[in-house]
Structure 1
Amino acid sequence: MNIPKTKKQRIIVIGGGFAGVSFIKKLRNENLQIVLFDRHNYHTFQPLLYQVSTAGLEPDSIAYPLRKIFRKNLDFHFRLAEVEHINTEENTIYTSIGSLTYDYLIIATGTRTNYFGNDSIAENSMPMKTVPQALNIRSLMLQNIEKADITSDEKERKRLLNFVIAGAGPTGVELAGALAEFRKGILEFDYPDIDEKEMNVHLIEGQDRVLPPMSKQVSKKAQKFLEKLGVELHLETFISSYDGKTVTTKDGKTFETATFIWAAGVTGALIKGIDGKALIEKANRYKVDEFNKVEGFENIYALGDIALMKTIDFPKGHPQVAQPAIQQGKNLGDNFKKMLNGKKMKPFKYNDKGTMATVGRNKAVVDIGKLHFGGAIAWFLWMFVHLWFLVGFRNRVVTFFNWTYSYINYDKAARLIIRPFKK
């Protein structure tokens, strides 16, 4: 692999998500060689993926080139590749483009979609973890509406206009709300031959309420918002299969649909080579100490969604969302600087800044400590926070412009079928 030889300590980082980016930023001026590996050449702001999939934003509004983020870092190198195996005895990683040795290894691979072993769902449903997947959903949604507009088969028309989402966590709730707003704001004007009532949005959840990770107060508010938008909720309902045409639940319900989006769970994106006590198999996460060091290793660390750090407040590990990943990345970066200067490292302590989710225009819910509220104020707060954490000034400006335009015109400007989806 064409990485310059060095006498400096080499840190390899696997994954350019929130954790990896936050860690590398902290080491901008340090006397180290840093090599970042990722399957994509950009960082994705995953909380806004649902807006790409529902034609609210273009993908370049929520993605930012990794090389550009770190262009001011000293001795930084990026390689577009997939890491396939870690040899911990030889301190070497093996990738799709060759092998490379490390002094320190940082694993920040995040999560992948969890289908819970259901092959029919894995084969036929639409996941939404990456920009290409979000674009696939956007294309499929628009293609199906176009087909429905010209078909004379009423049964097929109903199937094409039936949208089913599995999982009522933040992703599922935000997707359902966005689709419902698409129905309300777009169909009447773009598709006059389709009655708004013909498009149905179903949200299926195994638990007894939407947004299970959040408080019951905001869960009730979110449910009211969804119902007001016309989303059909199916709580305490589990899906058994999807054959590409019909979603079947364990209690015998069926939904004829050409668009089934799976947002019902994630699991750690593991890399071969680390197992034993270091791996928590049920969660597919690496067990780490209070410094994010992987158990049993002195020079391997795990950050963010892939790391499981048990504490009194979080006995099952920190939630697999952006804030823990960002904070762990920053803390480990600071600790590496301390370590290089012979200072004592600082244990990680999570500062819970709250949780929020948006259902639609002027409809969002927020949990911040003992505060639980929803509505327009929560929506504007949600917008401000997400704009603040977007990478790059241009992305913030473009996203703000799109949101302002959509707010005034009830429009979603990015409804383009640029690359038709084919299974």
Structure 2
Amino acid sequence: MNHFANQPIPNLPKLNLPKIVVVGGGFAGLKLARELRNSAFQIILLDKNNYHQFQPLFYQVATAGLEPSAISFPLRKIFHSTPNVSFRMGEALKVDQKAKRLYTDIGHIDYDFLVLAMGADTNYFGAKNIEYYSSPMKTVSEALYIRNKIISNYERAITIANVEDRKSLMNVVIVGGGPTGVELAGAMAELRNNVFPKDYPELSFKNMKVVLIEAGPSLLSSMSPEAQAHSLDYLKKLGVDVMLSTMVQDYNGKQVLLNGKEPIETQTLLWAAGIKPNRIDGFDSSQYAGNGRMLVNEFNQLVDTEGVFVLGDQCLLPGGNFPKGHPQVAQVAIQQAKNLSKNLFRQVKGQDLIPFQYKDLGSMATVGRKLAVVDLPFFKFQGFLAWMTWLFVHLMAILGVKNKLFIFLNWSWNYLSFDPSLRLLIKPKYVRASERKELIEE
């Protein structure tokens, strides 16, 4: 354990209030802290980054549609003039459940209530080569790395005389047919169809494949059959090679090996095939489900412990309508955080707690310009209206007036000109593949 963990975190305000430590500044942790600001609790918000990341738009950073700063917001700025909320940038290491103490890489802190909202990371399902050579997209820095990699590949391809030697640099393969994979594939196809030919007129983009691979029988498995069918049709019209019921066996940095099918040459494998909950030391194996999520009761309280709550992607409530856990989407995290904020007030007052009940507000995915699918509880629709709905919902969910304005202007310009202007190759230095993991700061 980090030697700083044996010392208390310095310079924290000393307030005579129940102390709630919130680990994670994602949708759940941020929502809870905002609900509890200016209340009779002291809130310590801990995250390894000093900004909130809007994950649904990572793919637009990766495909040069938005700047990283447009979908990131400083956590400290959110809590200006909020004396009961303190932010510290650090990484949680271990919990001592009996002592009610959290150890971090910047020191330890004692709590009355601990809330784990650490989200999830990329799941490679034990495939070490794929983990080493592919590119995930779970942070802003990883999305920016993908943007740099794609642009760098084309700058290299244009200097290669042999057409066959260019193919692995030009092809892009995306694994995972969920919303992230579908949105990435659509955005990459539109770049190939409309933008890259103007940037690189010397290259023939008929030689560039955009391939989307899904192990299951359909795309967007959590959405309606109508959404699945329309998204597949949209991608095919954009020229994406969609491979359903296809398993990826291995990847060596140059070829994607498939089960029972011909390998695909590419130096760009984007992995969006699964996620796994982040973990922290100090908990018993009996407090975890088989999929790595932490077992909670209907109040999001961790089983067999006192004062520890788990939100979002990390938690699983056995039984009920979601035996494998609630969907790992932002709305679940936000609704759980809102319910927990009410229960924390009720708990200190000795009142009965309110069980969490998820209200499905619908789901959506954009496939390309003027193409999207939307499933609402009472209505399902696709096409241009769905695309406008997707734009509006995501724009309203972004934090900060300035960020909303930047994104609106970017989207408006991209729609009118069909030429995103962020195709800049910005990197600190050239690094070998073996150094890439160390360079990315998560």
What's the TM-score, normalizing by structure 1? 0.97
User: Which of the residues 108, 112, 120 maps onto 2:117?
Assistant: 108
Q: Is the 8 A contact 2:39 2:84 kept in 1?
A: no
Superimposed CA distance per residue, residues 322-365 of structure 1 (whole angstroms, 9 cap, x where no aligned partner) = 00001111111122123334433221111100010000011000
Q: Which residue number in structure 2 is paired with residue 255 of structure 1?
A: 264
Native 8 Å contact 2:171 2:268 kept in 1: yes
> How many residues of Structure 1 are paired with residues of Structure 2 in the alignment?
422
Aligned 8 A contact 1:57 1:413 in 2: no
Distance 1:274 1:253 in 2: 44
Aligned partner of residue 165 in structure 1, secondary structure: strand
With over 3 angstroms needed to count, the CA separation of the structure-2 counterparts of 1:311 and 1:369, relative to structure 1, is farther
Contact 1:139 1:421 in 2 (8 A): no
Match in the other structure for 1:411: 419
- Quote how far apart the aligned CAs of 1:370 are: 4.7
For 1:334, the aligned partner's letter is K
- The answer to whether residue 198 in structure 2 is matched with residue 174 in structure 1 is no
Residues 19-418 of structure 1 mapped to structure 2, 5 A cutoff: 19-280=28-289, 282-310=290-318, 312-418=320-426
Distance 2:276 2:246 in 1: 21
Question: How far is 1:96 from its partner?
Answer: 1.1
- Write the letter of the residue equivalent to 2:403: N
Whole-Å separation in 2 of the counterparts to 1:156 and 1:67: 49
Pair 1:8 & 2:17 matched? yes
Equivalent pair of 2:18/2:42 in contact (CA under 8 Å): yes
Deviation, structure 1 residue 290: 1.2
Conserved 8 A contact 1:28-1:72: no
Q: Distance in 1 between matches of 2:190 and 2:24?
A: 34
Unaligned residue ranges in structure 2 (runs of 5+): 1-8, 434-442
Partners of 1:30 and 1:74 within 8 A in 2? no
Structure 1 CA distance for aligned equivalents of residues 353 and 381 of structure 2:
38
> How far is 1:211 from its partner?
1.0
Q: Which amino acid aligns with 1:158?
A: K
Amino acid at match of 1:390: I
Structure 1 runs not aligned, ≥5 long? none
In structure 1, what is the Cα distance between the partners aligned to 2:83 and 2:353?
Answer: 23
* 8 Å Cα contact 1:290/1:347 also seen in 2: yes
User: What's the CA shift for 1:90?
Assistant: 1.1
Deviates more, 1:352-361 or 1:30-39: 30-39
Counterpart Cα distance in 1 of 2:241 and 2:45: 44
How big is the shift at 1:105?
0.2
**What is the CA–CA distance in structure 2 between the aligned matches of 1:421 and 1:78, rounded to whole Å?**
34
Deviation at 1:262, TM superposition (A): 0.5
Contact 2:37–2:84 at 8 Å: present in 1 too? no
| One-letter identity of the residue aligned with 1:250 | N
For normalisation by structure 2, the TM-score amounts to: 0.93
Q: Which amino acid aligns with 1:247?
A: V
**RMSD over equivalenced CA pairs, Å:** 1.3
Partner SS, residue 404 of structure 2: helix
| TM-superposition CA deviations, 1:11-67 (whole Å, max 9, x none) | 111000000011111111112211111111000000000000000000011000011
